Amino acid sequence: MTNTNTTLYKGRFAPSPTGAVHFGTLVAAVASYLQAKTNNGEWLIRIEDVDITRKIKHADSAILNTLEAFSFEWHDEVIYQSKRTPYYLEALHQLDLKSLTFACSCSRKQLAETNTNVYPGTCRGKSLPEQNEHAVRLFAKDINISYNDAIMGLQTQNIQQQCGDFIIKRRDGLFAYQLAVVVDDALQGITEVVRGCDLLDSTPRQIYLQQLLNYPTPNYCHLPLVVDKAGNKISKSDSNAKISLKCKEKILFDALIFLGQQPPADLIESDIHNIWHWAISHWQLNQVPQEKNVPQKKKANRAPNTA
């Protein structure tokens, strides 16, 4: 049968430059890379430095150097969100034209006092000007957004009840991650987003924005999050979590085990290219655990398949 599906698969890895690559970052890079490779697609890199206040000097080049040391190969130039403000402004303009936004003068302190994570609508009817010192929020409609995550299954969220009017431009003038990621995924033509489960809850907001901006919705695959023994997400800013390039073969092997793949035990003795070769020819997304949090230690408990 002729394959009539001509859409080129485009995946991406989108690290924030907030520190060095740790095991969790690598797991996300490996899974998104293997999905792109096994779909004959392209794999793009985007440095998500839209929040310049969290950026660590040289973390971007350290991340890219680590990816290079692991022999990842990417398509096109790496893009930086900090250089893409005109695209975010244009998207904001489109939303403004449709009267989907409003300015908000609430401070963090005021919102904390409301004791709810959902914005209570304080500035909804005030018609404040969209200017510095005011955040810009998107009106949240009372609709359910559902999507079928390729790993975590059916997800549904009511935008008004579970998120509320959310921020797309911050009081300090920076664009919010939710808007930037949606604009970039659309403009880069991303067909599938593979990333950690910490963003599972953000996805309905992103789909909502895609619908308002008439963008296509990519497929989503949310990976189990690598957590420490106490169940906390490993952070890029924790310098102890940085991976060592001295044992990259073992780390890549461990990432495959974490992702539920079953590499033969002796593959760990191979060079990085052989490990990639095995991974690309054996990758199975449906083997990835469906748990939201998996302790890093768990990899050691699983005996690799020696057959």
**17 is a site residue for ligand GLU (CB under 6 A):** no
**205 is a site residue for ligand GLU (CB under 6 A):** no
User: Backbone phi, then psi, for 226, in 5-degree steps?
Assistant: -80, 120
Helix (H, G, I), strand (E, B) or coil at 80: strand
Cα 57 to Cα 175: distance, rounded to the nearest angstrom: 20
Q: Which of 9, 10, 11, 16 binds ligand GLU (CB under 6 A)?
A: 16
CB nearer to ligand GLU: pick between 137 and 195:
195
Burial class (CB in 10 A: 0-12, 13-18, 19+), 18: middle
Binding mask 124-153 for ligand GLU (x = CB under 6 A): ------------------------------
User: Backbone phi, then psi, for 268, in 5-degree steps?
Assistant: -60, -25
CB nearer to ligand GLU: pick between 221 and 257:
221
**217 is a site residue for ligand GLU (CB under 6 A):** no
Residue 162: DSSP 8-state: I
User: What is the nearest approach in angstroms of ligand GLU to the Cβ of residue 63?
Assistant: 9
User: What is the nearest approach in angstroms of ligand GLU to the Cβ of residue 264?
Assistant: 31
Cα 133 to Cα 257: distance, rounded to the nearest angstrom: 48
Is residue 225 within a helix (H) or strand (E), and if so which, with residue range? Answer: strand 225-227
CB nearer to ligand GLU: pick between 123 and 209:
209
**195 is a site residue for ligand GLU (CB under 6 A):** yes
**14 is a site residue for ligand GLU (CB under 6 A):** yes
Farthest CA pair distance, the chain: 67
Helix (H, G, I), strand (E, B) or coil at 169: strand
CB nearer to ligand GLU: pick between 103 and 181:
181
**199 is a site residue for ligand GLU (CB under 6 A):** yes
Q: Which stretch binds ligand GLU (CB under 6 A): 11-19, 52-60, 136-144, 298-306?
A: 11-19
**181 is a site residue for ligand GLU (CB under 6 A):** yes
Burial class (CB in 10 A: 0-12, 13-18, 19+), 193: buried
CB nearer to ligand GLU: pick between 181 and 212:
181
Length of the chain: 307
**255 is a site residue for ligand GLU (CB under 6 A):** no
User: What is the nearest approach in angstroms of ligand GLU to the Cβ of residue 114?
Assistant: 28
Q: Which of 130, 121, 133 is nearest to 103 (CA)?
A: 130
Is residue 24 within a helix (H) or strand (E), and if so which, with residue range? Answer: helix 23-38
Binding mask 29-48 for ligand GLU (x = CB under 6 A): -------------------x
CB nearer to ligand GLU: pick between 48 and 165:
48
Q: Which stretch binds ligand GLU (CB under 6 A): 10-18, 71-79, 111-119, 135-143?
A: 10-18
User: What is the nearest approach in angstroms of ligand GLU to the Cβ of residue 100?
Assistant: 22
Q: How many CB atoms lie within 10 A of CB 115?
A: 7
Q: Which of 148, 144, 158, 276 is nearest to 222 (CA)?
A: 148
**95 is a site residue for ligand GLU (CB under 6 A):** no
User: What is the nearest approach in angstroms of ligand GLU to the Cβ of residue 192?
Assistant: 12
Amino acid at 285: L
How far is CA 14 from its chain centroid? Answer: 6
Residue 233: DSSP 8-state: B
Which residues are near ligand GLU by CB under 6 A? 14-16, 48, 181, 195, 199
